[in-house]
Structure 1
Amino acid sequence: MSTMLTACVSTGELHARNPPDVLQRRVQTWLGMPRDFLEKHWGIAQDTKDMGAGLRYLEYTPKPTSKREKPVPAEVCHVVFTVDITGTVRGGQWSGNRSSCLNFVKEVPQIIPKQILVTN
């Protein structure tokens, strides 16, 4: 019986039943977007790292709401996007305090065309 359970776990069948993490899903919505569009909504990254091979990491953290507020490093949300040489977002990951990230991480905004209301 235990070999059957081990086989299921090793093939990932049990993992497939778990719903995707809401934060990771939000981060993943930015994949394929141009860097300019990312920076329009997230701002300029607080930290950038050149990783070679045309890849660059862009790190975002929430800004303190007041000058007195200094968040403890464990309570800070970090979002890192990987951008390739063409300026396209190729990866993303969040880390840090989950509740802080739930407030900070946003999805790609939906561009809704204006609807014309017709009345008779």
Structure 2
Amino acid sequence: MKTFKLVLVLIVFNLNYSQAQQKENQTTIKNNDTMKTFVIERIIPGVGELTAEQLKGISQTSCSVLKEMGPKIEWQHSYVTGNKVYCVYKAENKELIEEHAKKGGFPANSISEVATLISPATAEQ
């Protein structure tokens, strides 16, 4: 009887998890239809010298602004160099990127919409 109850609990858990994943995937697909990819260049002298803790703080600020702004803008990742940060975002429009920068206190020296993505795989097509 205990085995039966355990199996039943696992089945119910898996069904709920699958439904949640399916709903999340549908939202992601819907957002990807309307969201464009942008590369943002942020000139921040000495940013490459910041500590992990300082970068964490900056990331937390960015994430809290994004949470406040809602699902129409997403931070994908960033590349930190000596004096610049290159950020990849998905957003419905450039104005949302500008709003995020203003609210977060970040520079957005250049915002470019990505036209297409290429990689070594492109050479094989």
Per the TM superposition, whether the score is higher than 0.5 is no
The answer to which structure has the higher helix fraction is: 2
Question: RCO (CA 8 Å, sep 6+): is it higher in 1 or 2?
Answer: 2
TM-score (norm 2): 0.28
TM-score (norm 1): 0.28
